[in-house]
Amino acid sequence: MAGGATLMGDKELEKLFQTLGERVERKITRQAVNVALTPCLKSARAKVKKESGLLEESLDKKIKTYPESMTVVGLVGPNTAVSGEYEGELRVPWRYAHLVEDGHIDRAGNFVPPQPFLRPAFDETQGQMLDVMETRLGKGIEREAAKRD
């Protein structure tokens, strides 16, 4: 799946965004991506299979910035720092989240059907995330531009 967003809309807003400088552009974009991921995260938490509750608890969002290409990436998935015990065994959700999402063969050789939670959450909230992102970018650009005046 290839995703992405391009700033489009009011020409004055686009020009203003270009004049803010790279550091401010990154700041505004990171804030917008962070807020935009919230609906997807909430939806994924609501859809995940709850056996021990650790997978739901581990779901989080992360923002990664690549300054060289002025790219900001938002990720939703299990946090690698979360682990716990379930029925006396250590559980590390990031190690098995993909098995829940895509299905797998268990130790007895039986197929365990997929119980997707990330893909449906993304599909369900994609439009909402784009709307939130556009709104937050616009507000952020206007706010930073007002500081310059």
Q: Look at residue 16 in the predicted model and tell me its pLDDT.
A: 65
Q: Look at residue 69 in the predicted model and tell me its pLDDT.
A: 84
- What tens digit of pLDDT does each residue of 70-115 get? 889 999 999 999 999 999 999 999 999 999 999 999 999 999 999 9
- What tens digit of pLDDT does each residue of 10-32 get? 666 666 666 677 788 888 889 99
Q: Look at residue 2 in the predicted model and tell me its pLDDT.
A: 45
Q: Say if residues 97 and 107 touch (Cβ distance below 8 Å).
A: no
N- to C-terminal Cα separation, the chain:
41
Give domain status of residue 4, yes or no: no
Give domain status of residue 5, yes or no: no
Give domain status of residue 22, yes or no: yes
Give domain status of residue 3, yes or no: no
Q: Look at residue 61 in the predicted model and tell me its pLDDT.
A: 96
Give domain status of residue 51, yes or no: yes
- What tens digit of pLDDT does each residue of 38-69 get? 999 999 999 998 888 899 999 999 999 998 88
- Whether residue 35 is predicted with pLDDT greater than 70 in this model: the reply is yes
Q: Please state the domain count of the chain.
A: 1
Residue 142's domain comprises 11-148
pTM of the model as a whole: 0.79
Give domain status of residue 40, yes or no: yes
Q: Look at residue 95 in the predicted model and tell me its pLDDT.
A: 94
Give domain status of residue 2, yes or no: no
